[in-house]
Amino acid sequence: MKQIIISATAFVLLASCTRIDAGYEGILIKQYGSEKGIQDVSLVTGRVWYNPWTENVEQYATFIQTVDYEAFNVNAKDGSEFIVDPTLSFNIVPGNSPKIFSKYRKDLE
């Protein structure tokens, strides 16, 4: 009986934490209660404790990300043709990930 209680306690403790990697920021989302929804406080890198039955933790990258789009042709007004090869580099300012998640509800990748 004692072994079952110790095993159950260890399982609950292991299920109640997650790790936020370096270069990422965590968002705590409460599923139930009067304060349900996205919390304004962003979680920092490292181990984070939460209640897995009533809360979720999402991660957003705060490092610089680069998106390289395919090249395409553009015709100018005078009939000349240009090849455009766009590349976009962006990052999320640390602390703004809860706002971005509440607006778009998904990762930017």
pLDDT digits (tens, 9 = 90+) for 9-51: 888 777 788 899 999 998 888 888 787 788 877 788 888 888 8
Between 98 and 69, the more confident residue is 69
Between 54 and 108, the more confident residue is 54
Report phi then psi at 108, rounded to 5.
-85, -5
Of 54, 61, 56, the closest CA to residue 97 belongs to 61
Give the number of other CB atoms < 10 A from CB of residue 23.
Answer: 13
pTM of the model: 0.69
pLDDT for residue 45: 82
Contact status, residue 64 vs residue 41, Cβ threshold 8 Å: no
pLDDT for residue 106: 66
